[in-house]
Amino acid sequence: MFKQTHNKIMRANLFLGLVLCLSLMACAYQRAPVDSRITLPNACFPAGFEAVEICREDSFASLAAFYLDDPAKGWLIDQYNGHPKLVPGDIIIIPPDSFNRAGLVPDGFQTVPVLAYQCLVQKPSNKFEVITNRFVEQMDFLKENNYNIITLDQLIAFINYKEVIPPRAVVITFDKGWRSFYKIAWPLLKKYNFPATLFLHTDFIGNKEGLSWKELNQMSKEGLDLQCQTKSLRNLIKNKKGDSFKSYFKTLQKEVMDARSIINIRLGIQCKYIAYPYGKTDNLVVAMLQKLGISAGLTLERGSNAAFSDNFRIKRSMILSDYNIEDFEENLIIFKSMALK
Amino acid sequence: MRSAAVAFYLCLFLYFLTGCSNFIILNSTKLSTSDHTISDTLISKALILEKQMELNKALLIWKVIACRGPHYQTDQTVQDKIKTLQNRIEYLVKTHYDKGCLYYSQKALEDARREFLIILRYQPQHAGALDYLKNRLTPPVYINYQAAPKDTLQSIAKAHYNDVKKALLLAWLNDLDDQVKLKPGTLLCLPVLPKINQVSKKSTSTLSQVKRLVKKQQYSKALAMINKLLNKTPNNSKFILLADAVHIAMARPYILDQKYEIALSLLNKVSPSYPRIKQILDDFYIKRQAYQSKQLLQIANSHLTAAEYDKALQVTNEILLKDPENREASSLVDAAHYALGRKLAADKNEYGAWRQFKKVSPGYKNIGQLMQNIQKKLNKKADTYYKTGVKYYLRENLAGAIQKWKQTLKYNPQHPKAAKDIARVERLLEKLKKVN
């Protein structure tokens, strides 16, 4: 009798177990993820655009890595969609990386400031020498305020309407080739992971206060962009008194061609851009540079650069020794208001 | 006792199954609800973007909405929205391009640049706008020059720079030898360099004579004299200013007479440096726009009176495209849709009438009442289609059932069952396909 009852209980328990298993299986089947991502048909969209449904694990960087082949372009998706919060199930538009190359929005357009430094020192003796601590303060300011330091190549591509650049973009440049660049500026720039361009005044290189070719070679290998600032740093638009046009013009050619060939021989670099000595240029200089194959020239006119700026009159703001952080910020104009609607 | 236990466990099993099936149903309902929520969010996002004049982004969102489901693809409102936005973008691009070219021809370069930048917002690869922005709006470094017979590099340098020595510059830039004779027709690049401008001084008596003529409103005579002076000294700012003032004075009576094209041809001759020219032109365009809208409104009104609703709508839309704030045109649009809707309702075309009434502003006449009546009729029709669909379904004519339910949704997009049933049957059809 006891055995019979025991068997019944066992059978009942088995049955109950079976029911539970079946139910759990059914539920588990329903809970399995159906599809990791839904991409809407994009036949009717403009070329390069895609609309996708957000998954739980998505971030702007992962979406950019998947759709734009570059995780660093996450800002492009973020910006296009109006800085949304990524909620699984929401639809997000992936723009092509060619979208909005001029950085245009209904109330204005993007501009890029180019900062120019001469040299960094502990005790300044003139207004072009910036104290190291001030430079550190300025770099901290750029980092803390989410400025994106871009290369000069990126800026030129932006001006040529070929590449979209991140918002709050800034370019850092140094002039001449002072030795302090190797000792102070370059280690700091590397620490901040900021790209920079150094324009070389070739007659100055190898001098007591100037950088050596060996140092330049090392920094170039470490990622420093090296360009040319002529051979002797003479004012290109000023003809010396008594000089004929012929001799003036020959000197101009020599200033650029010699500087370029020296840099090419010593460092194996073909310079594409020039920083005009004292920032001065005119149509004669520009015509000559274009003929020589230079593709952009930087002045020392204060201001920022838009996508439609002139390649040969790129504005650059010299940072002076007595600038406090407010003065520095005044040179960081990253947007120009204009009703574009 | 044993049978009671079996019955209890069986009930328990059935309860679990019910729970599971409920879970499935709940899940699918949730999905479709969230689907609708997403589309609603997208619609409101598109409308906000449109308000912010982010028209391309708004258009893309509407296209996303259209791609989200079969009933959105066929929803006329969504398709209409897409078409309207496309037309609006096209119209804006054309208008701003024309404006930009006009400003450029008037040497108002900043204004021209603004217009071309607006175009790039709507059409980033617009070749014309890009050409103006990159090549024409910045002062040229070079000009092209075709060598004439007897031209030498020296004579060209003399003519362009007042400096024969710049022949060597021309030779270097154009890969030529400065001693070699130039072939007529050779195309040369001449850098734009400053040239000493020798402005000859003209007698002030001629100028005062011109001023007297202007005072007497003898504009044609005055203009002829100024032009003679300008031919000899093209850069004389006093003569240019006087010529500008004469052109503006000549344009005024034409503006009063509403002969805007003649007035514009005169205003176009005014140099961009003339003080307040931008404001004068802006006032002119506002007046011309108002006049054109008024004329078009008259035409639209006559179409409306003649019951030519489509034509009336076409004309009013044209006005609204140029002047979206025009209230008279908006109320004419309402009147046309209202009248057309009533006509269709009288012809027992309830769906057509409903579509027209939907386009009428909510507070217009008794539109609310009319919409309710029509909606009731449409719901009845939708129910009939739904039931026919169910009949097809029971006869295993799945394609026919889907078709009927789609018609249900056409008449009542909020129908509680049709969308779900379509989705269910489509899944069934897919499974059948896989089995086959």
DSSP states of B121-176 as a string?
HH-TT-HHHHHIIIIISSPPSEEEEEPPTT--HHHHHHHHHS-GGGHHHHHHHTT-
- CB-based contact (8 Å) between A93 and chain B? yes
Task: Say how far apart CA B48 and CA B58 lie, in whole Å.
Answer: 8
Closest C-alpha to A257, from A279, A236, A280: A236
CATH code of the domain covering residue B146 = 3.10.350.10
> Percent of chain A having pLDDT more than 90?
68
Q: Is A314 exposed, middle or buried (0-12, 13-18, 19+ CB in 10 A)?
A: buried
Task: Say how far apart CA B59 and CA B78 lie, in whole Å.
Answer: 10
DSSP per position, B201-240: PPPHHHHHHHHHHHHTT-HHHHHHHHHHHHHH-TT-HHHH
Task: Give the total number of structural domains in chain B.
Answer: 4
Q: If pLDDT is split at 50, 70 and 90, which confidence band does A39 have? A: low
Please report how many Cα atoms fall inside a 13 Å half-sphere around the Cα of residue A317, on the Cβ side. 20
Q: Do A44 and B63 make contact, defined as CB atoms within 8 angstroms?
A: yes
Q: Do B118 and A80 make contact, defined as CB atoms within 8 angstroms?
A: no
Q: For residue A275, what is the DSSP state?
A: E
Q: Where is average pLDDT lowest: A28-37, B83-92, B271-280?
A: A28-37
Shortest alpha-carbon distance between residue B388 and chain A (Å): 32
User: Quick one: pLDDT at residue A312?
Assistant: 96
Higher pLDDT, residue B236 or A325? A325
Q: If pLDDT is split at 50, 70 and 90, which confidence band does A120 have? A: very high
- Is pLDDT at B14 greater than 60 in this prediction? no
- Is pLDDT at B91 greater than 60 in this prediction? yes
Shortest alpha-carbon distance between residue B161 and chain A (Å): 12
User: Quick one: pLDDT at residue B31?
Assistant: 37
Q: What is the identity of the amino acid at A336?
A: K
Q: If pLDDT is split at 50, 70 and 90, which confidence band does A315 have? A: very high
Q: Could you say which of A16, A23, A80 has the minimum Cβ distance to residue B20?
A: A23
What is the pLDDT averaged over residues B291-310? 90
| pLDDT, tens digit, 9 for 90 and up, residues B185-208 | 899 999 988 764 444 444 567 778
Structure-derived torsion over alpha carbons of residues B265, B266, B270, B274, reported in degrees to the nearest 10: -120
Q: What is the identity of the amino acid at B243?
A: A
Q: How far is CA A245 from CA A233, B153, B198, in A?
A: 19, 15, 21
User: Quick one: pLDDT at residue B278?
Assistant: 83
Q: Where is average pLDDT lowest: A27-41, A103-117, A139-153, A286-300?
A: A27-41
DSSP per position, B29-73: HHHHHHHHHHHHHHHHHHHHHHHTT-HHHHHHHHHHHHHT-HHHH
Same-domain status, B158 and B134? no
What is the pLDDT averaged over residues B80-106? 91
- CB-based contact (8 Å) between A19 and chain B? yes
Instruction: Look up the domain containing B74 and give its range.
Output: 1-138
- Is pLDDT at B19 greater than 50 in this prediction? no
Higher pLDDT, residue B419 or A26? B419
Task: Residue B126: list chain A partners with CB under 8 A.
Answer: none
What is the pLDDT averaged over residues B171-178? 88
User: Quick one: pLDDT at residue B231?
Assistant: 76
Task: Say how far apart CA B360 and CA B331 lie, in whole Å.
Answer: 9
Same-domain status, B127 and B170? no
- CB-based contact (8 Å) between A246 and chain B? yes
User: Quick one: pLDDT at residue B196?
Assistant: 41
Same-domain status, B318 and B400? yes
- CB-based contact (8 Å) between A10 and chain B? no
Same-domain status, B151 and B48? no
Residue count of chain A? 341
- CB-based contact (8 Å) between B17 and chain A? yes
Per residue, the 3-state secondary structure of A122-182, as one string, reads CCCCCCCEEEHHHHHHHHHHHHHCCCEECCHHHHHHHHCCCCCCCCCEEEEEECCCECHHH
Domain assignment present for residue B211? The answer is yes
Bridge partners (DSSP) of residue A51 are: A93
Same-domain status, B55 and B119? yes
> Percent of chain A having pLDDT more than 70?
87
Residue A14 tokens, joined: 């088995």
**What are the counts of helices (DSSP H) followed by strands (DSSP E) for chain B?**
19, 2
Which range among A72-76, A220-224, B268-272 has the greatest average pLDDT?
A220-224
Average pLDDT, chain A: 89
- CB-based contact (8 Å) between B172 and chain A? yes
User: Quick one: pLDDT at residue B226?
Assistant: 85
Same-domain status, B131 and B54? yes
Same-domain status, B264 and B370? no
Q: Where is average pLDDT lowest: A33-42, A247-256, B26-35, B237-246?
A: B26-35
Task: Say how far apart CA B110 and CA B116 lie, in whole Å.
Answer: 10
What is the pLDDT averaged over residues A59-70? 89
- CB-based contact (8 Å) between B143 and chain A? no
Same-domain status, B20 and B111? yes
Q: Where are the domains of chain A?
A: 50-99, 105-337
Q: Looking at the domain covering A50-99, what would its CATH class be?
A: alpha beta
Residue B3 tokens, joined: 């049978």
Same-domain status, B2 and B133? yes
CA A254 to chain centroid, in Å, comes to 33
- Is pLDDT at B15 greater than 60 in this prediction? no
Shortest alpha-carbon distance between residue B391 and chain A (Å): 30
- Looking at domain A105-337, its CATH architecture is Alpha-Beta Barrel (3.20)
| pLDDT, tens digit, 9 for 90 and up, residues B118-148 | 999 999 989 999 999 998 998 888 888 999 8
Task: Residue B192: list chain A partners with CB under 8 A.
Answer: 283
What is the pLDDT averaged over residues B373-398? 91
- CB-based contact (8 Å) between B2 and chain A? yes
Average pLDDT, chain B: 83
Q: Longest C-alpha distance within chain A, in Å?
A: 132
Residue with structure tokens 């660093």?
A: A72
| A50-99 and A105-337: identical CATH topology | no
Task: Residue B57: list chain A partners with CB under 8 A.
Answer: 80, 93
**What is the enclosing helix (H) or strand (E) of A228?**
strand A225-228
- Is pLDDT at B216 greater than 90 in this prediction? no
User: Quick one: pLDDT at residue B159?
Assistant: 85
Residues of chain A numbered 294-313 and touching chain B (CB < 8 Å): 308, 310, 312
The interface pTM score, or ipTM, of the predicted complex is 0.83
Q: If pLDDT is split at 50, 70 and 90, which confidence band does B318 have? A: confident
| pLDDT, tens digit, 9 for 90 and up, residues B332-357 | 999 999 999 999 988 888 888 988 99
User: Quick one: pLDDT at residue B337?
Assistant: 92
Q: If pLDDT is split at 50, 70 and 90, which confidence band does B279 have? A: confident
Task: Say how far apart CA B205 and CA B202 lie, in whole Å.
Answer: 9
Task: Say how far apart CA B103 and CA B101 lie, in whole Å.
Answer: 6
Task: Say how far apart CA B309 and CA B316 lie, in whole Å.
Answer: 10
Mutation target for A interface from B3, B11, B13: give the one with most A CBs within 10 A.
Answer: B13
Task: Say how far apart CA A179 and CA A339 lie, in whole Å.
Answer: 46
Q: What is the identity of the amino acid at A86?
A: L
In contact, A52 and A39? CB cutoff 8 Å:
yes
Same-domain status, B414 and B374? yes
User: Quick one: pLDDT at residue B389?
Assistant: 93
**What is the enclosing helix (H) or strand (E) of A93?**
strand A91-94
- Is pLDDT at A285 greater than 60 in this prediction? yes
What is the pLDDT averaged over residues A15-20? 63
- CB-based contact (8 Å) between A109 and chain B? yes
Same-domain status, B187 and B208? no
Domain assignment present for residue B292? The answer is no
- Is pLDDT at A77 greater than 90 in this prediction? yes
Q: Do A308 and B19 make contact, defined as CB atoms within 8 angstroms?
A: no
**What is the enclosing helix (H) or strand (E) of B411?**
helix B398-411
| pLDDT, tens digit, 9 for 90 and up, residues B45-72 | 888 898 888 898 898 888 888 876 655 5
Which range among A60-64, A130-134, B290-294 has the greatest average pLDDT?
A130-134
| pLDDT, tens digit, 9 for 90 and up, residues A164-192 | 999 999 999 999 999 999 999 999 999 99
- Is pLDDT at A34 greater than 60 in this prediction? no
Same-domain status, B377 and B429? yes
CA dihedral for B258, B262, B266, B267, sign (positive or negative): positive
User: Quick one: pLDDT at residue B12?
Assistant: 54
Closest C-alpha to B336, from B310, B361, B315: B310
Task: Residue B142: list chain A partners with CB under 8 A.
Answer: 287
Q: What is the identity of the amino acid at B343?
A: K
- Measured N-to-C along each axis, helices B309-322 and B277-305 cross at an angle, to the nearest 10 degrees, of 170
Q: Could you say which of A45, A99, A249 has the minimum Cβ distance to residue B124?
A: A99
Shortest alpha-carbon distance between residue B124 and chain A (Å): 7
Shortest alpha-carbon distance between residue A102 and chain B (Å): 8
CATH code of the domain covering residue B380 = 1.25.40
